[in-house]
Structure 1
Amino acid sequence: MTLSSDLITLLDQVSPALVLVVLALSAVMLARLTRWSPVGRLRQRLVLGVPWGTLVIIGGLAGVYYGVQGGGEPGGPVATGFRSWSLWYPEGLVLSSFAHASNGHLLSNATATLAFAPLVEYVWGHYSATDRTDWLGQPVVRISGFVLGVGSVGLAGSLFVPGAVIGFSGVVFAFAGVAVVTLPLALVFAMLGLQVLRLVQSAFEAPLVLARAQETFVSPSWADTAVQGHLFGLLIGVIVGIVLVRRRNLSPDLRYVWFAALAFGVTRGLYAVFWYQGTDSFLLFRGLGTAGVFVLAGLIAGAVISTDRPIVPRAGITSRELSVGVVLAVLFALALVAVPYNLVTVGPGEAS
């Protein structure tokens, strides 16, 4: 039995309101039954408990997409001209990490930023950890420093990631890299929260979906993933996180760090190492990629270990030094591969 068009229209109109009511009731019940109120704790680290830097970043992404690329306009957005084609193409070099290829691309990275960036901003803090009273300890300066730091990571991705990349996902992975070292359990909850957020978003955008069986040509989803850019961003974030752990004298639980790194790598497709086998064929090295994710999780966990016991007694090398060294080596290798690629000269017609 098929539903009438009137009933379908009614459900389409009522469903978003129903979702909104259920969300509000869930929040009220959670607050009343558990007396859970995170605002007080957030205010200890953030001005008014709000991640202002994260909001500025999301606003900047929207500004680039709608104000510079022409997103939302007929024929927009312009994407090809905003890719990081070459070091000799400064427009793409500066803006590629903050530009996006479609509305869905922007929305995906914006929601991921909303999930992961506040964790990093919380660790960074709007108030100085050393109670300094000069201008460097002022909240406005620290918020600005956070935003500028994020911009620097985006620019580094444009410079040192091979390929004509576009999008903020490399920086999103950097957020996760910092969080996996400093707040591993919070990162796991953020990953789950991101799935809920995207489900709610989809429920508002398309309350009803009519699907029909049909033949389609679909390339593998992992073949459209810039794994090299994601890995570069993640490792940059891990290095920043290690620095914060050392400076703040934090001692994250290695079990949590390892699990969070593994869960993030698996759920974000870092195992998707592939190569081209023709114009329409791709070879996925799933076994090698899976092993690589486990190795990556072990390296990240080893990089934050606090013991100074040498893993190589004769050389006096600790597991922390070895892990950090391997992470830096992979990071530099990715950057080195990008140099000859990004030195290619691009003509005006090729990047427009």
Structure 2
Amino acid sequence: MVAEALTSDAAHLAVGGALVAVALAVAYKTDRPSGAWTRALRSRFLLGVPWGTLVAVAGVICVYLFVQSGLENPDRPVVIPFRSWSYLYPEGLLWSSFAHANRGHITGNLLSTLVAGGVAEYAYGHFPGGREVDDETGTLRSALPSRESLRRVRAEGLAASEPGRVARSALASLAEGDSLGESPYVRAFAVVPGAMAAFGVVSALFALGPVIGFSGVVFALWGFALVFYPVGTIAALTGATLLDVASETLRNPVVTAEASGFYGPPGWANVAIQGHALGLIAGALAAAWLVRRRRGGDADVDEAGAGRRTTALAAFGAVLLFGASRRLWAVYWYLGNQRYELYRAVGLGLLAVLAAVVALAVAGRDEPLRPDLAVPESATVRGAIRSATPAAVGLLLLASALAVVAGPGVVPNLVAVGDGDLPGDPVEVEGYQVTYAEDVEDRTVNVVDVRAFGRSTSVNTSGVIVKNADREIWTTAVSRGNLAFWGYRAVDVGGTGWRETVWVQRVGWVAANGGPTYRVDAVRNETRSTLFTSESARAEPRIDGRNVTVAAVEGGFELRVAYEGETERSVLPAANESVTLRGVTLVHEEDAVFAERGETRVRIATRERYEGRQ
């Protein structure tokens, strides 16, 4: 019993939690901060909390649970209908930036949102220009109207002649600002989460391919934060890692693992580099504009509360380090059928150029490049060019980079899915068609035929294909290799608040030194149908001049024996039974089939095994 208690998750969590608490207590007693640890937060956040980031996180969680039916199955939400498929499918565009592929996907994005969003929201601030923090500031009492403000409201209300004056005065007092935009409540609960939501929808309009996830917004937050606090933001990246470790610790404090196989594309091929770059550039551009607006011509002071202005070296290094750590160098071309080609050198060079452009936009001088040609307060384009400053050039280049990254996503989103039939006999579910095919044209990639440098978007795909013409969906939901690795996969289709699941299973036999033959079935509502059968496989051993072949057929398998130009065939017998064809007895024993003739007995086929299920 003692041994069981020592190995329980609760015991490990208790020990780990106690050690963390002791470590924090030591640090606290050593510093004796007396509120200094939170003073900076309280000077820029309402009650010292990044409310806007928390509201955005809550919204994304609601989408996952209720829109994607994640409440029904947290590990396997409905994904296919919530990607950004086309301008002709607004529902996908609306939800794609807030939906996620699985629990790991949403967990990673939201942990990064908490860190990046917190830093970006701190830079923006709930209080324009910050505020002085005294003994009461930052507490609940400081967030409420003071006695003096209430007395002023009463006095103004008694003196007012028109209706509603008291309400307006009270609202102004509660907002602690002269305008709605200066209200900490509006900035915290409307502006910040509203900006995240708006950018999520807008970025989906320019997404290249059917992307999904909040990462575009997360990268915009990182870009915004990098401009204001380049060094602090790079340090904050480790904070996101710490949150991830803490989250995994709470879920799985004790893990037993062993070496195992894994199927999937290269890690860099899972990076939505275009969407991430779009977010990073947009965030940096917004921050650069805000920095210069706040600076108001002061070359030394940054009114965002960051102290002195960001140097070019700091901005350049921070963007370069961030991009390298987040694989923004992963420029690649999809070759079809789960094959990719990475252009790492070009990607790293482009990342360095982007870092230089951000540095120029943020830290560039405000003096004209050619003072002798500058025109004061020019109203013409020619005069503006002659009076251009390094900072203006940097902002223009950054805006141009945003356009270059966003542009390629427009044309593919204008193309509609055709009405052509899918191969085989698809399973139909509420407008969806699910089938399996091999080496067919990949209509997700080949939306627009592009040929460059010996490469083309005209590629083939193999696997489980899902189509819904009404939703402009055509996708390889499960690749051939993925299905061959696991043996079966679930394909979830549906829409807002509903789902249907089609299970796809691969069953096969491997002929001795002759390769596999397999059948792919779909199972829905306990009804099985065959979607695909591969070519037959002939075993290498010959039994007295006779060749044995195993073939996948609809609903099962059959054995064939060829001799002297004639072939005899039969369905695969049940386990521990046999059949005789052309003088050869074929015996089915557990997961193998043996051929017997006279004193000869050889194995001619074994049941296909799936590495992911071993």
Same-fold status (TM-score > 0.5): yes
Give the structure 2 partner of residue 119 of structure 1: 119
Contact 1:45 1:127 in 2 (8 A): yes
Matches within 5 A, 1:124-139: 124-129=124-129, 132-139=177-184
CA distance in 2, matches of 1:136, 1:214: 55
**Residues 228-264 of structure 1: CA distance to partner in whole angstroms, max 9, x if unpaired?**
0000000010111011101211222222222221111
> 1:109 aligns to what?
109
What's the CA shift string for 1:131-154, capped at 9, x where partnerless?
842333212211211111111110
Q: Does 1:53 align with 2:98?
A: no
Residue 274 of structure 1 and its aligned partner are, at CA, apart by 0.8
Hey, what's the Cα distance between the residues in 2 that align with 1:92 and 1:160? 13
The letter of the residue matching 1:51 is P
Partner Cα distance (2:281, 2:273) in 1: 12
CA deviations on 1:88-128 (whole Å, 9 max, x unpaired) are 11111111101111111110111000011011111111123
Shift of 1:325: 2.2
1:325 lines up with 2:325 in the alignment: no
* Secondary structure, counterpart of 1:348 in structure 2: helix
Alignment RMSD (CA, Å)? 2.4
1:16 aligned to 2:13? yes
Structure ranking higher on relative contact order (CA contacts 8 Å, 6+ apart): 1
Residue in structure 2 matching 1:222, options 258, 265, 268: 268
Deviation of the 1:69 alpha carbon: 0.8
Q: 1:336 and 1:129 mapped to 2: Cα distance?
A: 36
Per the alignment, residue 223 of structure 2 pairs with 177
Corresponding position of 2:201? 155
**194-203 vs 264-273, which deviates more?**
194-203
Residue 141 in structure 1 maps to residue 186 in structure 2: yes
Matched residues in 1 for 2:369 and 2:27: separation? 47
Structure 2 CA distance, aligned partners of 1:243 and 1:146?
Answer: 17
Judge conservation of contact 2:361–2:395 (CA < 8 Å) in 1.
Answer: yes
- Tell me the distance in 1 between the aligned counterparts of 2:16 and 2:391: 47
User: Counterpart of 1:224 in structure 2: which amino acid?
Assistant: N
Partner of 1:280: 338
Is residue 2:470 matched to residue 1:348?
yes
Point out the structure with max Rg over C-alpha: 2
SS where residue 7 of structure 2 aligns? helix
Matches within 5 A, 1:183-194: 183-194=229-240
Cα offset, 1:19, TM superposition: 2.4
Corresponding residue SS for 2:329: coil
Q: Note if contact 1:154-1:170 (Cα within 8 Å) is conserved in structure 2.
A: yes
What residue is the counterpart of 2:327 in the other structure? 269
> Does the aligned pair in 2 maintain the 1:261–1:297 contact within 8 Å?
yes
Shift of 1:349: 5.8
Partner Cα separation in structure 2 for residue 19 and residue 264 of structure 1: 31
Note the C-alpha offset of 1:214.
3.2
Q: What is the CA-CA distance between 1:310 and the residue it aligns to?
A: 5.3
Q: Tell me if structure 1 keeps the 8 A contact 2:128–2:182.
A: yes
Partner of 2:32: 35
Q: Provide Cα deviations, 1:153-197, integer angstroms capped at 9, x if missing partner.
A: 101111112111110000000001101101112211210111111
Q: How many residues align?
A: 349
Say if 1:25 and 1:318 are closer, same or farther in 2 by CA, change over 3 A. same
Match of 1:197 in 2: 243
Shift of 1:7: 5.9
- The separation in 2 between residues aligned to 1:263 and 1:94, in whole angstroms, is 32
- Where in structure 2 are there 5+ consecutive unaligned residues? 131-175, 296-301, 303-308, 374-384, 418-468, 474-493, 495-614
8 A Cα contact 1:83 1:164, kept in partner: yes
Q: How far does the alpha carbon of each residue in 1:36-55 deviate from its partner, in whole angstroms, 9 at most, with x for none?
A: 43311211111110011111
In structure 1, distance between residues paired with 2:113 and 2:232: 14
Q: Do the aligned partners of 1:181 and 1:242 also contact (CA within 8 Å) in 2?
A: yes
Shift of 1:332: 0.9
Q: Pairwise mapping of residues 59-98 of structure 1 onto structure 2 (< 5 A)?
A: 59-74=58-73, 76-98=76-98
Q: Which residue of 1 aligns with 2:310?
A: 252
CA distance in 2, matches of 1:322, 1:217: 46
Which whole-Å CA distance do the structure 2 matches of 1:114 and 1:25 have between them? 25
Q: Name which of structure 1's ranges 122-131 and 235-244 shifts more when overlaid on structure 2.
A: 122-131
For residues 60-99 of structure 1, give each alpha carbon's deviation from its aligned partner in whole angstroms, at most 9, with x where no partner exists.
Answer: 0110100111114149411111111111111111111011
Aligned partner of 1:100 in structure 2 is 100
2:401 equivalent to 1:334: no
Matching residue of 1:290: 348
CA contact (8 A) 1:223 1:274 kept: yes
Higher helix share: 1
Q: Relative to structure 2, which stretch is displaced further, 68-77 or 309-318?
A: 309-318
Give the one of 288, 293, 312 matched to 1:242: 288
DSSP 3-state at the match of 1:275: strand
Name the CA shift for 1:172/1:312 in 2 (closer, same or farther; >3 Å).
farther
